[in-house]
Chain A
Amino acid sequence: MMIGFAIRNQRAFASGALFLGFAIFFYVVALGYPGGTAARMGPGYFPRLLAIVLAAIGLAVMLGSMKSTADLQSLHKWDWKGLGWVTGSVVLFALLLFPAGLIGALFVLIMVSSKASPEFTWKGALANAAVLIALCLVVFVYGLGLRLPVWPSIFN
């Protein structure tokens, strides 16, 4: 048995901390809005109420993780590389869509996200990009007529 306040369930502790952090953030920001009374609620009333509830839940989860009966759980490792490639490819798509046009942005999205796979090959990714770009043009641009900038903005 551990003595005192050992965090037995690190996963739950971090979850509770996440709740508490969000609660504090929302509460502090909501202090800037008029609260009003229960009968005439201002825009700040309900958010503050919810933030207090969330803070209570967060504290309860954190305390529960320190109970001597709590499950022993450690934090899971993050796959930063995979997350980086996937998220980065989405951000690049958004950044490039207007300057480089749909074809360029899709090409970057597919190539960069493909790097997230441990089985990445240049040949496979390039072939996949060619097929997917053609498919998107047919389906979204010509088929559904979505308003998408196909070509780089300098051509317009």
Chain B
Amino acid sequence: MDLFHNLAIGFSTAAQPANLLYAFFGCLLGTLIGVLPGLGPLATIAMLLPITYALPPDSALIMLAGIYYGAQYGGSTTAIVVNLPGESSSVVTTIDGYQMAKQGRAGVALATAAIGSFFAGCVATLALAALAVPLTATALLFGPKEFFALMILGLILASVLSSGPFIEGIGMVVLGMLLSLVGTDLSSGTQRFAFGIPQLFDGLDFVPLAMGIFGFAEIVKNLEQDDKLSLVTQKIANLFPTRDDFRRMIPAMLRGTALGTLLGVLPGGGAVLSSFASYTLEKKLSKHPEQFGKGAIEGVAGPESANNAGAQTSFIPLLTLGVPSNVVMALMVGAMNIHNIQPGPEVMTKNPTLFWGLIVSMWIGNLMLLILNLPLVGLWVKLLTIPYRYLFPAIMVFCSIGVYSINSGTFEVYEAAVFCVFGYALIKLQLPAAPLLLGLVLGPAIEENFRRAMVLSRGDVSVLVTSPLSASLLAAAAIAIVLIMLPAIRTRREEALQE
């Protein structure tokens, strides 16, 4: 079968000793940084990105994927042990995970998260491999107007899922798109919004912006809240779930995996949505809904499987359509561009070893996390006892060197400083930064496809709604907007996205 043939190609790349080593280091570093409170996968990847510059493209992507999963897993550890979500997709894990830890079952909760994540990772990898070929074939049918409509849908869904009022999320998307126009206009060669600064001719770089907003500004915010971490001090002894635990967690794991695999594919979906949806589902289906919030193992197994499955399948739109479905995927676009890979349907056809190697290494990465994390849990927990006053200068150092090494120049460092102030303003105004970054990444492609569609239709905008494919994508976006405006759903969403 084709699928197995493709996976075999992947294994021959991913199982090379060097690449295994990079996957291992990626997972290790990702977990190491991801465990630190207040650092989500985005900041973690942005910080570790420079390490991969010197590697060949396939090794670099394999390592980045490892970092991503490591960061995800590190986030769950923080959620369980200190009741502090390292990232938004493990917010739900804090509810029951921390309760389990307080009951002396931290080890079981961590093991549940690891097993659930691994199982979900295996299933989602297979889903990714199976869906890649047909979806890529679909992508080849897409013309400019369809791509335009697809990206609009993705941006709308991303704003729907971000916290705060929907209209402010859309505003951030549009602002991000405007910022993306800085630099040389490819069709005319005009320098736009560059004000004669040569470093801006290539556009605003994604990494300094992400570091300024999610690295530096976040630190200023964390320093303001001087509440102490409520670390669980008991020694983590027993890792193994009992037979009863297994009986309760396996169905939750299966459901979480299914949910996450499906929701992760949606543009704008991914890990966060999946974990929330899974928690709600488990609570609804449970015979003991009263145990939720008091250490129900299903409340850890379901969402943790779901967020890992979602994290994995959110690679699908990126790799097949070239459309990142969330901010982390947007950063992956940036990382791929550094290695001269244009994400999209061409990756699979032009670069099969890289494509399938990446997919297989995702599975290997999940396996490594399982092997790595259960024995090392004690070490990760120790890391959490380092006071923040020593940690944050370290984060500043890594971010600054990382930003500098993008171009071996200080311009990007100044850029990051400017976006630190901007990011702090966003925090104070409670404006979500994720839609801004998505707009920034998708902006150039949206403009290009819009222009090309308009050239083809001789300036007739109605072509966007007369072609069935783009019309249905735009209709889906319109439905999402209408739904979010309905008062009942509005309040539900506000409750769900509240942290």
Measured between beta carbons, the chain A residues less than 8 angstroms from B178 are 22-23, 26, 47, 50-51, 54
Of B188-196, B281-289, B360-368, which stretch is located at the interface? B188-196
Q: Which of B339-347, B375-383, B423-431 is the contact stretch?
A: B423-431
Within 8 Å of chain A (Cβ to Cβ): is B240?
Answer: no
Asked if B393 and A37 sit within 8 Å, CB to CB, the answer is no
Q: A16 CA to B51 CA in the complex, in Å? A: 39
Q: Are B389 and A120 in contact (CB under 8 A)?
A: yes
A11 and B430 contact, CB distance less than 8 A? yes
Specify which chain A residues have a CB less than 8 angstroms from the CB of B400 in the assembled complex.
Answer: 90, 93-94, 109
Shortest Cβ distance from A78 into chain B, in angstroms?
6
Which residues of B lie under 8 Å from residue A154 when comparing CB positions?
none
Per a CB cutoff under 8 Å, which of A45, A50, A128 touches B174? A50
Asked whether B224 lies within 8 Å of A53 as measured between CB atoms, the reply is: no
Assembled-state Cα–Cα distance A120/B390 (Å): 10
In residues 58-73 of chain A, which contact B (Cβ within 8 Å)?
58, 60-61, 64
- A29 with B174, Cβ < 8 A, contacts A79-B220, A98-B410, A146-B50 known: no
The CA of A106 and the CA of B401, in the complex, are separated in Å by: 9
Residues on A with beta carbons closer than 8 Å to the beta carbon of B53: 146
Least CB distance, A60 to chain B, in whole angstroms: 6
Interface-forming stretch among B11-19, B128-136, B455-463? B455-463
Q: Assess whether B226 is in contact with A118, with CB atoms less than 8 Å apart.
A: yes
Q: Which residues of B contact A18 (CB under 8 A)?
A: 425, 429, 431
CB pair B226 A43 closer than 8 Å: no
- Asked if B188 and A43 sit within 8 Å, CB to CB, the answer is yes
Nearest A residue to B404 by beta-carbon distance?
A: A97
Given A11-B429, A78-B424, A124-B390, verify A41-B168 contact (CB < 8 Å): no
The answer to whether the Cβ of A83 comes within 8 Å of any Cβ in the partner chain is yes
Tell me if A1 counts as interface (CB < 8 A to partner B). Answer: no
B: residues with CB less than 8 A from A are 50-51, 53-54, 165, 167-168, 170-171, 174-175, 177-178, 181, 185, 187-188, 190, 192-193, 216, 219-220, 223-224, 226, 387-390, 392-394, 396-397, 400-401, 404-405, 408, 410, 413-414, 416-417, 420-421, 424-425, 428-431, 447, 450-451, 454-455, 457-461
